[in-house]
Amino acid sequence: MNHSNQGGGYSWLIDLNYFLCMGIRDLLLDVATTFDTTLTTTSGNPGQAVLKAASERLADALPYGMKATGHGGQGGAAATPWIRVFDPSAGGSGTNGLYLAYIFSADLASVTLTLQQGVTAMRDELRTRGQRLRNHLAFRARALLAELPHDLVADWTDRPQLRHHEWRPRAYEASSVAGRCYDIAKLPSEGDLCADLGIMGMILKAALDVEAQVQVVSAPDGPTVEYVPQAHATYRGLEGFHPKTGDDYVAEIIARQQTKKQVHEGLIRSFGPYIHGRGFIPITERAHPRDLVLRSGGDNGAHATEWLVEAKAVKKGNATQAVREAVGQLLEYSYFLYSGMPKPHLLGLFSEEIGVYTTYLEDHGIGAIWRTKEGWAGSASAIAWGMAEAQQ
């Protein structure tokens, strides 16, 4: 089925420049018209070559930082060929973790862009390919979906219809957290497909953020969900500010314990009361995938002045990576989340001084603020906004 991209506040995406996102439509059509499920992967199946080229062909269409790989089976051709789109920094693979996929139906008449769970790892964990596996995947998919921002996923309710009896296609159907189905004969324009992939990239990021909070366990009456408790800091007067704790915590990973420092969350947690004291309202509630939103204390209505904040930990004094990631995310979120709305001011929040990158950010219209031994310091824009004092 086709969607018009209307509703949910995301209709603006259909106006993306076609020439910025070449490749998705032609690739999907090429797979659908060349892949032969009766041939082996080594017997001159032209569809296999198309899938192997997916990484290069989609390079200009993928959301920032994401990669793609095509999968046509091992030995025998896959019953339902697919193209995986993933975030390398998130870990995982096509067998475990969360990722996006274009999965074709067995008759190659349709393809679904879906947020998938790793069905192979779940099969190995449960030691079954049958109904119990599908129940577990479907239950976990619903639990994950319930944790995602409603406005972001409201139009992504299609379920894959892969039309094949083997365990893996049926598991893919159950595993889908969110998705959109396309008829190959009525594929949307390249611009619409790119817009859809952009939104799905944001859904993946949001899902990766909440995945650790949702644990599905087997029970005699079927799977149940357990939400991993997370400590939150609550401050008087900061009703919309609920950052995760910045304290060290101990995480159980397989058979060992690993202590992790949440520098990122600690940075946001300590910044909230400070910026509130300077007359700004910090908001983390319903801000996903954004780290933090600021509003001026006297202007909190529908047309409030807003600052979009991206927090980054500077590792070992090297600001390059932190600044690079902050710029990419600030520009991406500003473009995609505020279309048709007043554009927010952009602010990078850093765990320490960023040196020459302060003027670099200012030249790109982005303010900066960072933690110091004495408190907080900021760039010219941050000072002008009243977020930091000029240094003597």
CA distance 116 to 359: 41
| Same domain (yes/no): 66, 213 | yes
**Spans of the chain below 50 pLDDT:** 1-21, 229-239, 245-261
Identify any residues that bridge with 226 across adjacent strands, giving them in sequence order. Answer: 215
CATH number at residue 199: 3.30.920.90
**pLDDT for res 258:** 35
User: Among residues 299, 339, 2, which one has the least CA distance to residue 158?
Assistant: 2
276 belongs to a structural domain: yes
Alpha helices in the chain (DSSP H): 24-34, 46-52, 54-57, 119-126, 131-146, 150-153, 167-175, 190-211, 263-277, 319-337, 357-363, 380-384
- In this structure, the number of other CB atoms found within 10 A of the CB of residue 321 comes to 12
How many separate domains does the chain show? 2
* CATH code assigned at 293: 3.40.1350
Q: How high is the pLDDT of residue 232?
A: 35
What is the model's pLDDT at position 246?
A: 45
If asked whether residues 207 and 253 sit together in one domain, one would say: no
C-alpha dihedral, 45 to 1 to 196 to 87, nearest 10° = -50
Do residue 69 and residue 158 come from a single domain? yes
Residue 262 in tokens: 């949440």
pLDDT tens digit sequence for 236-246: 344 455 565 44
Residues 269, 159 share a domain: no
Torsion of CA 16, 306, 361, 337, to 10 degrees: -20
pLDDT of residue 210: 82
- Quote the domain boundaries for residue 125: 11-217
- 82 and 17, same structural domain? yes
Same domain, 184 and 265: no
Whether 164 and 211 share a structural domain = yes
pTM value is: 0.56
Sign of the C-alpha dihedral, residues 213, 9, 305, 368? positive
Instruction: Answer yes or no: do 51 and 193 share one domain.
Output: yes
CB atoms within 10 A of CB 77: 19
Residues 208 and 344 in one domain: no
What is the predicted pLDDT for the residue at 224?
A: 62
d(CA 382, CA 349): 10
